[in-house]
Amino acid sequence: MTMRIDAVWDGIEAIVLDAVGTLIEPFPAVADVYAAAARRQGVELDRELVRNRFVQSFRDDEFEENLEALVTDEPTELSRWKRIVTSVLPNLPEPDRAFEELWDHFGRPDSWRCFADVGPALTALSATGMPIAIASNFDSRLRPVLAGLPALAALGPRLVISSEVGYRKPHPAFYQAVCDCLGQVPEALLMIGDDPENDVLGACRAGLRGVWLDRRGRGDRQDVLGVNHLAALVSLRGA
C-alpha cells in the first residue's frame, strides 16, 4: 500500500458507501431478533449460541459464494437467507413461519438504526457537492429500509444493490455498475466500507480507491487503508 491516508481524497469526484456495518446496523441485535422468533414457537435458545451460529453461517455462506461466480438476483438472495435462518434456527416446529417473520422484520426501517457518526458525516460530505452512492450486497429490501431512515432518506441516495445488478461485491461487474450509476470513471470514486475484502480490495481491483471503515478498531489489516470512524475520513477532506 503506497498511498498515504492523508492523500485519500486526491482526484476523488464521488463517494460510494457500503450499507450494513458502515451506515446502518440491525437494532435490536440480530441474535435477539432470531431468539425471539424461536421463542414465539416455544423454543428457548441461548443468545450467544444464536449469535455464534449466525456469524458462522453468514461467513460460510459468503465463503462458498466467493468460490462461485458471485452471480445473484432476488430469488438467489431469498434462498441464501432461507439457508442462513435454517442453520441458525434448526428444528423449529414452523420453520417457514420463522423465515417469513425474519425476512419481513429486516425489510422494515424500524429494525435498523444509523451509526452515530453517519448523520454528521453525510451532512458534511453532501456539503462538498460530491455525489454519494450506496453500494450494497443486501437485496431490494434495502430500498424501503433506507427510505425510512431520515439521515439517509434526506440524502436521496443513489442505490446500487447486488441482487438488482446481478453480481455481488467484490465482483468487478458490481463496481462497474457503481461507476455507471455515478457517471464516473473508477479512479474518481472513493469506496468506503466495513468489509476489507468486499468493499476495499474488491473496489481497488476494479480501479476505485477503497478505504476500510474499521469500526471496532481491529487495526489488523496492513493491506488496506483504514479509518476508525467516518468523521476521521471527512476531516481528511477538510469538509
Which residues of this chain interact with Mg ion, rule CB under 5 A?
Answer: 18, 20-21, 194-195
**41 versus 113: smaller Cβ distance to Mg ion:** 113
**186 versus 193: smaller Cβ distance to Mg ion:** 193
Residue 84 to residues 18, 37, 59, 119, Cα–Cα distance (Å): 21, 14, 10, 31
Please, what is the minimum distance in Å from the beta carbon of residue 38 to Mg ion? Answer: 26
Please, what is the minimum distance in Å from the beta carbon of residue 19 to Mg ion? Answer: 7
Please, what is the minimum distance in Å from the beta carbon of residue 71 to Mg ion? Answer: 20
Residue nearest to Mg ion (CB): 21
**72 versus 98: smaller Cβ distance to Mg ion:** 72
**18 versus 139: smaller Cβ distance to Mg ion:** 18
Q: Is 4 exposed, middle or buried (0-12, 13-18, 19+ CB in 10 A)?
A: exposed
C-alpha cell recorded at residue 192:
468506503
C-alpha cell recorded at residue 212:
476500510
Please, what is the minimum distance in Å from the beta carbon of residue 137 to Mg ion? Answer: 8
Inter-helix orientation angle 95-105/30-39, to 10°: 140
Q: Distance between CA 50 and CA 108 in Å, rounded?
A: 21
